[in-house]
C-alpha cells in the first residue's frame, strides 16, 4: 500500500510533481513485462481491444516509442496496477479532489535507440469533460537513467500559462521545442528534472506540468505504465467533443445524459469509501494467461 506524507504533498504543490520509489514489487514488474510482450503482439487477455493501439510488432516503426492506451481493459495484470485504490487515494490527496477515476492508462515501451515523445501539458487535451483536470502516476518497469529516455519534468511549470497542443507527439526532431517556447513566454529558464529511479519507482505529476522524454541512448529497454486520473465527479462536455482526445473517448457517452459510465471510467477511490463495484469482478476473474 502506497501512502503519502504531508511533506510529499507540499513538495508536489511546490514543484508540480513528486518522485517516489517502490510503487510496485518485483513480481508485478516481471508479470507486466510478459504482458507488454503480449499486448504489443496483439494478444489481449480479456478479448477487449484497447482504445488506442499505436504500435504492433509486425507493423510498428521500430524507431518509435511503443504505446497502447487503456491496456487495463485488455489485460487484468495491467488493470490490477492502474486501478489500485491506494493510488487513487494518493492522486486525490495530491490534487485536492473528492475522489479519483481512471481516465486512461498508457502502456509505454521505449527500446534502445527509439525516438522522443514531445513535451506537452496533459490538461491541454481534455476539454471534452469538465472539470478538465488530470493527474498522472508514472511507474517504471526498468531502472531509469537520464540517457535512457526517462520521463522529464519541468519544475514549477504547473503554474505557467496554459498552452494548446501543437506539433508532432511521436518522435519529433525537437521534442523540447514547445516547452522552451512556453518558458520564453514566462520569461524563465526551465529546470528539467529527470525521473531517475530503480524499477518499481516512479512519479506523480500535475496535469499542467510540462513533461516529455528524449531518445533512449542507454542500450537498455525503458518500459513504463501510466495511470492518468481525473476527478470522480467529472461530466462530459459535449460542446468540446472535437478537442484533444474527445473524438476517441466521447464514444462512451450515454444518449440521454452527460454522466461518465463507470464501465469505462471506473471510480478507484472516493472519500466516502465508494469504489466501482465491477472492478472486483474484473480483477478477480480467472486469468487464462497466468
pLDDT in tens, 62-95: 999 999 999 999 999 999 999 999 999 999 999 9
Give tens-digit pLDDT for 229-258: 999 999 999 999 998 889 999 999 999 999
Domains of the chain: 6-284 (2.60.120.620)
* Whether the Cβ atoms of residue 235 and residue 132 lie closer than 8 Å to each other: no
Report the alpha-carbon distance of residue 68 to residue 77 in Å, rounded: 14
Average pLDDT of 117-133? 94
Q: What pLDDT is recorded for position 134?
A: 97
Residues 225 and 108: beta-carbon distance below 8 Å: yes
Residue 288 CB burial class (10 angstroms; 0-12, 13-18, ≥19) = exposed
> What is the secondary structure of the chain as a DSSP string?
-----HHHHHHHHHHSEEEES-SS-HHHHHHHHHHHHHHTTT--TTSPPPSEE---TTTS-TTSPEEEE-GGGT-HHHHHHHT-HHHHHHHHHHHT-SEEEEEEEEEEEE-TTPPPEEEE-GGGG-TTEES---EEEEEESS---TTBT-EEEETTGGGSPP----S-SBS-SSTTHHHHHHHHHHTS---EEE----TT-EEEEETTS-EEE--B-SSS-EEEEEEEEEETT-EE-GGGTTSTTHHHHGGG--SS--BPPTTTS-EEEETTS---THHHHHHHS--TT-
pLDDT of residue 286: 56
- pLDDT, mean of residues 46-60: 93
Q: What percent of the chain has pLDDT over 90?
A: 90
Q: What are the pLDDT digits (tens) for 148-200?
A: 999 999 999 999 999 888 888 888 989 999 999 999 999 999 999 999 999 99
Give the model's pLDDT for residue 290: 47
Please tell me the predicted confidence (pLDDT) of residue 213. Answer: 97
Higher pLDDT, 285 or 223: 223
C-alpha grid cell for residue 244?
484533444
**pLDDT at position 117, please?**
92
Cα 163 vs. chain centroid, distance in angstroms? 19
What gap in Å lies between CA 188 and CA 191, rounded to an integer? 9
> Quick one: what percent of the chain has pLDDT higher than 70?
98
Mean pLDDT of the chain: 95
3-29 pLDDT, tens per residue?
Answer: 999 999 999 999 999 999 999 999 999
- Would you say residue 97 has pLDDT above 90? yes
Amino acid at each position: 500500500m502506497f501512502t503519502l506524507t504531508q511533506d510529499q504533498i507540499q513538495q508536489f504543490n511546490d514543484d508540480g510533481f513528486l518522485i517516489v520509489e517502490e510503487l510496485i514489487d518485483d513480481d508485478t514488474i516481471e508479470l507486466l513485462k510478459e504482458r507488454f510482450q503480449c499486448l504489443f503482439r496483439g494478444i489481449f487477455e480479456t478479448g477487449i481491444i484497447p482504445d488506442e493501439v499505436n504500435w504492433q510488432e509486425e507493423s510498428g516503426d521500430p524507431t518509435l516509442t511503443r504505446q497502447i492506451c487503456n491496456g487495463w481493459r485488455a489485460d487484468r495484470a495491467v488493470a490490477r496496477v492502474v486501478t489500485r485504490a491506494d493510488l487513487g487515494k494518493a492522486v486525490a490527496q495530491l490534487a485536492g479532489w473528492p475522489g479519483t477515476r481512471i481516465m486512461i492508462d498508457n502502456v509505454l515501451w521505449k527500446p534502445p535507440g527509439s525516438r522522443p515523445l514531445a513535451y506537452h501539458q496533459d490538461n491541454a487535451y481534455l476539454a471534452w469533460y469538465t472539470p478538465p483536470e488530470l493527474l498522472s502516476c508514472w511507474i517504471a518497469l526498468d531502472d531509469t537513467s537520464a540517457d535512457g529516455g526517462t520521463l522529464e519534468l519541468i519544475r514549477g511549470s504547473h503554474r505557467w500559462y496554459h498552452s494548446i497542443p501543437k506539433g508532432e507527439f511521436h518522435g519529433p526532431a525537437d521534442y523540447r521545442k514547445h516547452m522552451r517556447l512556453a518558458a520564453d513566454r514566462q520569461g524563465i529558464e526551465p529546470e528539467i528534472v529527470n525521473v531517475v529511479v530503480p524499477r518499481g519507482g516512479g512519479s506523480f505529476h500535475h496535469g499542467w506540468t510540462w513533461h516529455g522524454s528524449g531518445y533512449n541512448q542507454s542500450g537498455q529497454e525503458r518500459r513504463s505504465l501510466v495511470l492518468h486520473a481525473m476527478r470522480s465527479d467529472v461530466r462530459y462536455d459535449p460542446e468540446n467533443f472535437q478537442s484533444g482526445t474527445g473524438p476517441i473517448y466521447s464514444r462512451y457517452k450515454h444518449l440521454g445524459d452527460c454522466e461518465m459510465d463507470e464501465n469505462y471510467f471506473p471510480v478507484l477511490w472516493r472519500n466516502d469509501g465508494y469504489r466501482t463495484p465491477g472492478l472486483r469482478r474484473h480483477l478477480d476473474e480467472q486469468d487464462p494467461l497466468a
